[in-house]
Structure 1
Amino acid sequence: SICVLSEFYLQFCNCSFFPLFFFSEMRSRNSSAVFWHGGSSGGYQTLLLDEDRGWLLVGGRDHVYMLQAESLTQPMRKIHWPAGKEHTERCRHAGKNLSTDCANFVRLLQPFNKTHVYVCGTGAYHPQCTYIYLGHSVEEPAFTLLTHTVESGRGKCPFSPHESFTAQLTDGELYAGTSVDFMGNNAAIFRTSVHTSSQHYIRTEAYHDYWLNEPDFVGSYFIPDTHSLDDDKVYFFFKETAVESNQQDKRVYSRVARVCKNDIGGKRSLINRWSTFLKARLVCSVPGPGGMDTHFDELEDIFLLETKDPQNPVIYGVFSTSSSVFRGSAVCVYSMASIRAAFNGPFAHKEGPDYRWVEYKEKIPYPRPGTVSVHRAIKHRIYSTITSDNVISADVLVNYISNLIILLFVSSDGEVAQLPLQRCELYGKACADCCLARDPYCAWNGSTCSSYFPSNKRRARRQDVRYGDPWSQCQDLGEGFEDVELKTVYAVESNSTFLECTPRSPQAAAKWVMQQSHTQTTREVRFNKFTMLKQATWDEPLANITLGYRNTHGSSVYSMLMLILLHPALV
Structure 2
Amino acid sequence: MVHSTSLCACLSLLTVLSCHSHVLPRLSFPIGSPGRSLTVFTNPDVYNTTTLLLSNDEGTLFVGARDAILSIDVSQTDNMTIKEKLDWSPSEKDLNDCSMKGKMKMDCHNFVRVLQELNSTHMYACGTFAFSPRCIYIDSKTFAMATIPNSKPEEGRGRCPYDPYQKNTAITVDGELYTGTVADYRGTRPVISRHLSEGSHVDLKLDDTLGWLEDPTFIRSTYAPSEEKVYFFFSETGKEYDFIEKFTVSRVAQVCTSDVGGQRTLQKRWTTFAKAQLLCQAAQELPYNILQDIVSLPPMEGASEDETLFYGIFSSQWRVNLGRSAVCAFSLKDIKNVFIGRYKVLNRDTLKWSTRVQEQMANPGECGLHNASDNTLRFVKDNFLADKSVAPVNQGLTIVSPDKSYSNIAAQRVRGARGRDYTLLYLLTESGYLHKAVILENGAHIIEEIQVFHQPQLVKNVLLSVSKGAVLIGSSEGVVSVPVSNCSYYWSCAECILARDPFCGWDPVMKVCTDITSHGHLVQDVDEGKVSEQCKNVTPRSRSGQPRTHSSEVVSVSLNEVVHLQCPEASHLAKRHWERPNSQLSPKIYIQPDNGSLSFVATPSTLGHYLCQAVENGYTQTLTVYHVKQKSNPTILAASPSRPQSTPAAETGNKNPISTPRWMIPKQPEPRPKPEDVDPSVTHKDSLAITIKSRNFTRLSGTNEENSRMIEPGGNLQQVNRPTYLQELVVVSVLLALCISALLTIAFNRFRHLCHSRTVPQTPPSHRDAEKGGSATPQERESLRGHSPRLEKRNGQAPNNGQAHNGKSPITLSNSMLNASNGHLPNTPI
Note whether the superposition's TM-score is higher than 0.5.
yes
What do residues 307-343 of structure 1 show as CA deviations (whole Å, max 9, x unaligned)?
Answer: 2246232111111122234320011111111111111
The CA distance in 2 between the partners of 1:183 and 1:75, in whole Å, is 36
More deviation in 175-184 or 469-478? 469-478
State the 1:181 CA deviation: 0.8
What do residues 472-529 of structure 1 show as CA deviations (whole Å, max 9, x unaligned)?
Answer: 54333784575267999xxxxxxxxxx99855375xxx567797x9963699xxxxxx
SS in 2 for 1:83: coil
The number of aligned residues is 506
Match of residue 7 from structure 1? none
Alignment of 1:59-458 (within 5 A): 59-69=64-74, 70=76, 72-99=79-106, 101-135=107-141, 142-148=142-148, 150-193=153-196, 200-206=202-208, 208=210, 210-224=211-225, 226=226, 231-246=227-242, 249-287=245-283, 292-307=284-299, 308=301, 309=303, 311-312=305-306, 313-327=308-322, 328-349=324-345, 351=347, 357-368=353-364, 370-374=366-370, 375-376=376-377, 377-378=379-380, 379-383=382-386, 384-388=388-392, 389-394=396-401, 395=404, 396=406, 397-399=408-410, 400-427=463-490, 429-446=491-508, 447-455=510-518, 458=520
State the 1:244 CA deviation: 2.3
- On the 8 A contact 2:114/2:124 being kept in 1, the answer is yes
SS in 2 for 1:295: coil
State the 1:165 CA deviation: 0.6
What do residues 539-559 of structure 1 show as CA deviations (whole Å, max 9, x unaligned)?
Answer: xxxxxx9997641435x4444
Q: 1:406–1:449: structure 2 CA closer, same or farther, 3 Å change rule?
A: farther
SS in 1 for 2:321: coil
Match of residue 440 from structure 2? none
What do residues 57-101 of structure 1 show as CA deviations (whole Å, max 9, x unaligned)?
Answer: 1111110111111255534320111124443322111011112x2
- On the 8 A contact 2:228/2:257 being kept in 1, the answer is yes
Q: Report the residue type matching 1:77 in the other structure.
A: E
Q: 1:86–1:380: structure 2 CA closer, same or farther, 3 Å change rule?
A: farther
Unaligned runs of 5+ in 1: 1-14, 136-141, 489-498, 524-531, 539-544
- On the 8 A contact 1:433/1:504 being kept in 2, the answer is no
SS in 1 for 2:338: helix
- On the 8 A contact 1:187/1:206 being kept in 2, the answer is no
SS in 2 for 1:341: helix
State the 1:403 CA deviation: 3.0
- On the 8 A contact 2:180/2:193 being kept in 1, the answer is yes
Q: 1:48–1:464: structure 2 CA closer, same or farther, 3 Å change rule?
A: same
Q: 1:521–1:77: structure 2 CA closer, same or farther, 3 Å change rule?
A: same
- On the 8 A contact 1:51/1:404 being kept in 2, the answer is no
Q: 1:485–1:353: structure 2 CA closer, same or farther, 3 Å change rule?
A: farther
TM-score, normalised on structure 2? 0.55
State the 1:282 CA deviation: 0.7
Query: If each structure's helix is expressed as a fraction of its own residues, which one has the higher value?
Result: 2
The CA distance in 1 between the partners of 2:66 and 2:493, in whole Å, is 48
The CA distance in 2 between the partners of 1:405 and 1:437, in whole Å, is 22
Residue number among 9, 12, 29 corresponding to 1:21 in the alignment: 29
Q: 1:402–1:31: structure 2 CA closer, same or farther, 3 Å change rule?
A: closer
- RMSD over aligned Cα, in angstroms? 3.9
The CA distance in 2 between the partners of 1:75 and 1:246, in whole Å, is 53
Q: 1:199–1:154: structure 2 CA closer, same or farther, 3 Å change rule?
A: farther
State the 1:462 CA deviation: 2.2
Percent identity for Structure 1 against Structure 2: 29
Query: If each structure's strand is expressed as a fraction of its own residues, which one has the higher value?
Result: 1
Q: Report the residue type matching 2:145 in the other structure.
A: L
- On the 8 A contact 1:422/1:451 being kept in 2, the answer is no
- On the 8 A contact 2:365/2:384 being kept in 1, the answer is no
More deviation in 164-173 or 479-488? 479-488
The CA distance in 1 between the partners of 2:27 and 2:258, in whole Å, is 47
The CA distance in 1 between the partners of 2:554 and 2:330, in whole Å, is 46
The CA distance in 2 between the partners of 1:270 and 1:65, in whole Å, is 41
Match of residue 645 from structure 2? none
State the 1:205 CA deviation: 2.5
Alignment of 1:464-483 (within 5 A): 464-470=525-531, 473-476=534-537, 479=540, 482-483=549-550
The CA distance in 1 between the partners of 2:363 and 2:549, in whole Å, is 69
Matching of residue 553 in structure 1 with residue 623 in structure 2: no
Q: Which has more radius of gyration?
A: 2
Match of residue 7 from structure 2? none
Unaligned runs of 5+ in 2: 1-22, 371-375, 411-462, 542-547, 556-565, 587-592, 599-605, 629-715, 724-830
More deviation in 435-444 or 355-364? 355-364
Q: 1:29–1:185: structure 2 CA closer, same or farther, 3 Å change rule?
A: same
What do residues 196-243 of structure 1 show as CA deviations (whole Å, max 9, x unaligned)?
Answer: 8x99421123362x211111111000013x4xxxx4100001111111
- On the 8 A contact 1:155/1:180 being kept in 2, the answer is yes
- On the 8 A contact 1:433/1:505 being kept in 2, the answer is no
Q: 1:487–1:181: structure 2 CA closer, same or farther, 3 Å change rule?
A: farther
The CA distance in 2 between the partners of 1:409 and 1:342, in whole Å, is 34
The CA distance in 1 between the partners of 2:28 and 2:554, in whole Å, is 24
Q: 1:472–1:352: structure 2 CA closer, same or farther, 3 Å change rule?
A: farther
Match of residue 34 from structure 1? 40
What do residues 349-405 of structure 1 show as CA deviations (whole Å, max 9, x unaligned)?
Answer: 355776864433332223555443324324144123011225212444312444311
State the 1:132 CA deviation: 1.3
What do residues 258-312 of structure 1 show as CA deviations (whole Å, max 9, x unaligned)?
Answer: 111111113545222211111111111223xxxx313211111111111224623
The CA distance in 1 between the partners of 2:552 and 2:511, in whole Å, is 22
Q: 1:513–1:31: structure 2 CA closer, same or farther, 3 Å change rule?
A: closer
Looking at both structures, which has the greater relative contact order when contacts are Cα pairs under 8 Å and sequence separation is at least 6? 1
